[in-house]
Structure 1
Amino acid sequence: MPDSNAPIQSAIEQKLADGFHAVHLAVENESHMHSVPPNSETHFKVTLVSDDFAGKNRVKRHQAIYNTLGSELQGGVHALALHLYTPEEWQARHEVSPASPQCLGGSKHDKA
């Protein structure tokens, strides 16, 4: 099960909280849903709601996150699912982030 006190997850949460005026911030470690060792911190889902995204398209929003999390993305983070909204967009979604798909495999240990 994911550990909310894990170092990489905590760093992501702190950097996003410091870097954006968040109305809502959720960082979920989804590594347990993938073919990785237990207690891994490789796959994350970020839901961030902020007025900082007003007037920015999806690419600009993602770039802002990548700039903030540069060291984590160059380190052990393999996948980062980003769900980035303005408060109005979030309210229109009924304050629900999309569910993540189940891993389809891809382990280097799988037989071809």
Structure 2
Amino acid sequence: MSEAFDFVNASAADKIAHLEARLNAALAAQSVHIDDDSAAHAGHAGAASGSHYTVTIVAECFAGRARVARHRLVYDALAEEMRRGVHALAIRAYTPQEFAEQFE
């Protein structure tokens, strides 16, 4: 992704598309779904539009890693965005096998 992306001033849809692209590129994700939860945090510090997200990501790179290590991979992939406007992430990180088991 290019440094030229203006995260702060982008539309909500463009922010989500950008975050998805970053996660897909960095983690070779099989699936990424992002919900913008910003409206639920209105009135709280850092609650600007497009600043609170729930990320559900399925990637093989999570295999054998504890939850904290998985979250670190996601935060590392979005480091620039965390400095430029993402205030909070709720992360659900699964291996493909774990994700499939939820629906058996």
TM-score range, shorter chain: 0.7 to 0.9
Please list the CA deviations of residues 46-94 of structure 1 after superposition, one character each: whole Å capped at 9, or x if unmatched: 0000111011111111111111100111121111000000011111222
Aligned to 2:97: 88
For residue 25 of structure 2, what is the aligned residue in structure 1?
18
Structure 2 length as normaliser, TM-score? 0.77
- Please state whether the residue corresponding to 1:77 is helix, strand or coil: coil
Q: What letter matches 2:94 in structure 1?
A: Y
Structure 2 contact 50–86 (Cα < 8 Å) conserved? yes
SS at match of 1:22: coil
CA-based RMSD: 2.3
Mapped pair 1:61 → 2:62: no
Q: Which runs of 5+ in 2 are unaligned?
A: 1-10
Cα distance in 1, alignment partners of residues 31 and 77 from structure 2: 17
Number of equivalent positions: 92
Q: How far, CA to CA, are the matches of 1:21 and 1:78 in structure 2?
A: 24
Q: Which amino acid aligns with 2:21?
A: Q
**Bigger shift: 48-57 or 27-36?**
27-36
- In 2, Cα distance between equivalents of 1:94 and 1:23: 16
Q: Answer yes or no: is the 8 Å Cα contact 2:12–2:50 preserved in 1.
A: no
The higher radius of gyration belongs to: 1
- Which runs of structure 2 are paired with 1:1-112 in the superposition (5 Å)? 5-6=13-14, 8-35=15-42, 40-94=49-103
Identity %: 34
Runs of 4+ with >4 A deviation: none
Checking the alignment, whether the CA contact within 8 Å between 2:51 and 2:86 is kept in structure 1 is yes
Q: TM-score, normalised by structure 1?
A: 0.72
